[in-house]
A and B are shown apart, each in its own frame.
Chain A
Amino acid sequence: MSALSGGRQKREPSKIPYYIILIILALFALGPLVVVVFNSLKTSAAIGRNPLGPPLSPVFRNFPDAWTQGNFSTTMVNSTILTVGTIIGVCIIAATGAYAMARLDLPGADAVLLYLFVASAVPFQLFLVPLFFLWTNLQLTNTRFGLIVIYWAIFSPLATLLLRSYLVGLPRDFEDAARIDGANELQVLTRVVLPLSWPGLLTVALITAVQTWNEFFFAITFIQDNNLKPVTTSFYAFQGTYSQDWGLTSAAAIFIILPIAVLFLILQRRFISGITAGGLKG
Chain B
Amino acid sequence: MEQGTSEHRGGLAKRIPAGGLRRRRHLTAWLFMIPLMVINLLVILGPSVATVYFSFTEWAGIGPAEFVGLQNYRDLLADEYFWQAMWHNVVWTILFLTVPIAMGLLGAFLLSQIKRFQLFFRIAYFIPYVVASVVNAAIWKNILDPERGIGSALASMGIPFLDGVSFFGNTRLALPSVAFVNIWVWWGFILLLFLTALQSVDQELYDAAKIDGANRWQQFLNVTLPGIRPTFIFVVLLTIINSLLVFDYVFIITQGGPAGASEVVGTLMWKEAFERFEAGYASAMGLGLSFIAGVIVLIFIFLRRRGWEV
Could you list which residues of chain A lie within 8 angstroms of chain B, going by C-beta atoms? 1-9, 15, 18-19, 21-22, 25-26, 28-30, 32-33, 35-36, 39, 47-48, 50-53, 92-94, 96-97, 99-107, 109-110, 112-113, 118-119, 121-134, 136, 149-150, 152-154, 156-157, 160, 165, 168-169, 172, 176, 185, 189, 210, 213-214, 216-217, 221, 231-233, 235-236, 239, 243-244, 246, 249-250, 253, 256-257, 260-261, 264-265, 268, 271-272, 275-276, 279-281
Contacts and interface: CB of A to CB of B under 8 A. Distances in A.
Given A122-B48, A253-B135, A156 B39 contact: yes
Given A185-B32, A232-B134, A32 B140 contact: yes
B182 interface: no
Interface in B111-159: 111-115, 117-136, 138-143, 145, 147-150, 152-153, 156
B19 to A, nearest CB: 14
B218 interface: no
Interface in B84-123: 103, 106-107, 110-115, 117-123
Nearest to A246: B142
B199 A4 contact: yes
Of the listed residues A5, A101, A275, the one surrounded by the most CB atoms of chain B closer than 10 A to its CB is A5
A254 to B, nearest CB: 9
Contacts of B132: 213-214, 216, 231-232, 235, 256-257, 260
A33 B39 contact: no
Contacts of B120: 26
A96 B33 contact: yes
Nearest to A15: B114
Nearest to A20: B110
A125 B32 contact: no
Question: Which 4 pairs between the two chains have the least Cβ-Cβ distance?
Answer: A153-B43, A125-B286, A104-B29, A130-B50
Given A149-B43, A243-B141, 19 more contacts: A7-B203, A32-B143, A48-B147, A50-B156, A52-B143, A93-B35, A96-B36, A105-B22, A107-B26, A110-B5, A129-B51, A129-B282, A134-B47, A176-B15, A216-B248, A232-B134, A253-B139, A276-B193, A280-B231
Secondary structure at chain A's binding surface: helix, strand, loop or mixed?
Answer: helix
Interface stretch (B75-83, B171-179, B289-297): B289-297
B303 interface: no
A213 B1 CA distance: 29
B201 A30 contact: no
Nearest to B203: A7
Contacts of A50: 153, 156
A249 B26 contact: no
A127 B150 contact: no
Interface size class for chain B? 35 or more
Contact of B130 (A30, A35, A260): A260
9 contacts: A2-B199, A4-B112, A26-B125, A103-B12, A122-B44, A127-B47, A132-B61, A213-B132, A235-B135
B279 A133 contact: yes
Contacts, number: 315
A80 to B, nearest CB: 14
Interface string B35-71: 1100110111111101100100000011000000000
B42 A153 contact: yes
A257 B47 CA distance: 33
B238 A279 contact: yes
Contacts of A36: 135, 139, 142
Contact of B51 (A5, A110, A126, A271): A126
B43 A22 contact: no
Contacts of B34: 96
Contacts of A122: 44, 48, 290
Given A29-B124, A51-B150, A153-B40, A18 B110 contact: yes
A26 B121 contact: yes
B100 to A, nearest CB: 12
Contact of B127 (A8, A30, A131, A152): A30
Contacts of A165: 1, 4
Contacts of A235: 132, 134-135, 138
